Amino acid sequence: MACLFRRNLRPATPTAIGSSRKSGAVSDARRRCRKGVRQAYSDRRLARGRQATGIVTTGGVDVSTPQRKGSLVCVGIGMTLGSHISPLARSHIEQADVVFAAVSDGLVEQWVERMHPDVRSLQRYYAEGKQRMQTYREMVEAILTEVRAGKRVCGVFYGHPGVFAWAPHKSIQMARAEGYRAHMEPGISAEDCLYADLGIDPGTCGCQHYEASQLLYYSRRIDTSAWLILWQAGLVGDRSQTRFHTGPAYRQVLVDVLARDYPLDHEVIIYRAATLPVHGPRIEHTTLARLPEADMTMADTLAIAPATAMLPDPAIRQRLAELDRSPA
């Protein structure tokens, strides 16, 4: 861990011995503080590794079998280039032996490459007409090959590495099963950006999230008194898992499903978080009826505001009121 302070130290003169003793005590305190910070940081990483792999301790002594040499951490660098990365995520990237990157933009990938000399892009596993699950499996195998070789591996993913990201979860699961240290560091996701850019507080009336295609494939109950967020709406209805977008006819099916609960003139918001600091987010207002005509990609999200008010539950309110009146 880097030192938080840097001082220019000069030898004490005979006329400054008293102040020198005082400053020496302060310096000792600072050194003890820095040592404590470094130890706490080290203990945190050790505890996280133990928790990730099921290691338990008794009196500070490991009672499990020794772990294998390789390790894996999957970090999120947020949505916007350079703006959202945490110091801990950057540290994991810089200290790794090998870095794998699946990010949102070529410029973002170049930025990651400035942090480490061995950054390997995972974008090369994508191909038009290729099943995405096959792509994800190849990513996992590439990552685990280096872990099994005894290297410290860092997987870098845009947004949050655990949100709409099969490969990071699977990589960590398999690494742990094989006896390697593996964990995930969170990042700022598109959901976080959505709340900020659209001014939504999910605590006000609630917020329900679905992958758009999942809403079509299964019978889900929609609460129209809460926000409805549909992810990957530009890819809705793709059963082949080989395409990167679907057309208006597929979005019309989505409209027909939503029309069971919402009027066709109800406003919806097409949202896309900014990935570069020079760009703003996409915030486009339209109606449910006009949604099929909209130009959308798999990066676009639908945000649908509440259409009805929340209904009080008098029976539960009465029950709680009686509890309030009863003695503790």
pLDDT given for residue 72 in this prediction: 99
Q: Say if residues 231 and 215 touch (Cβ distance below 8 Å).
A: no
Instruction: Indicate whether 249 pLDDT > 70.
Output: yes
Lowest mean pLDDT segment, chosen from 33-42, 112-121, 248-257? 33-42
Q: What is the pTM of this model?
A: 0.77
pLDDT band at 31 (very low <50, low <70, confident <90, very high): low
pLDDT given for residue 241 in this prediction: 86
- Residue of 167 and 37 predicted with greater confidence: 167
To the nearest 10°, the Cα dihedral for 223, 227, 232, 236?
40
CATH 2.40.180.10 fits 191-304, yes or no: no
The whole-number average pLDDT for the span 139-161 is 98
The whole-number average pLDDT for the span 259-263 is 98
Q: Report the alpha-carbon distance of residue 286 to residue 298 in Å, rounded.
A: 18
Q: Report the alpha-carbon distance of residue 265 to residue 93 in Å, rounded.
A: 48
Q: Report the alpha-carbon distance of residue 305 to residue 249 in Å, rounded.
A: 23
Active-site option among 34, 45, 48, 132:
132
pLDDT digits (tens, 9 = 90+) for 184-219: 999 999 999 999 999 999 999 999 999 999 999 999
pLDDT band at 28 (very low <50, low <70, confident <90, very high): low
Chain Cα centroid distance, residue 221: 26
Active-site option among 136, 180, 262, 271:
136
Q: Report the alpha-carbon distance of residue 302 to residue 233 in Å, rounded.
A: 6
Is residue 120 part of the annotated active site? The answer reads no
Burial 181-192 (b: 16+ CB within 10 A, else e): bbbbbbbbbbbb
pLDDT digits (tens, 9 = 90+) for 143-153: 999 999 999 99
pLDDT given for residue 203 in this prediction: 97
pLDDT given for residue 236 in this prediction: 97
Structure tokens at 159: 């947004």
Is residue 132 part of the annotated active site? The answer reads yes
Active-site option among 125, 158, 250, 271:
158
CATH 3.40.1010.10 fits 69-188, yes or no: yes
Instruction: Indicate whether 138 pLDDT > 70.
Output: yes
Instruction: Indicate whether 137 pLDDT > 60.
Output: yes
pLDDT digits (tens, 9 = 90+) for 79-93: 999 999 999 999 999
pLDDT given for residue 40 in this prediction: 45
Q: Domains of the chain: which residue ranges? A: 69-188, 191-304
Is residue 271 part of the annotated active site? The answer reads no
Query: CB neighbours of 124 closer than 8 A, spacing ≥ 6?
Result: none
Instruction: Indicate whether 315 pLDDT > 50.
Output: yes
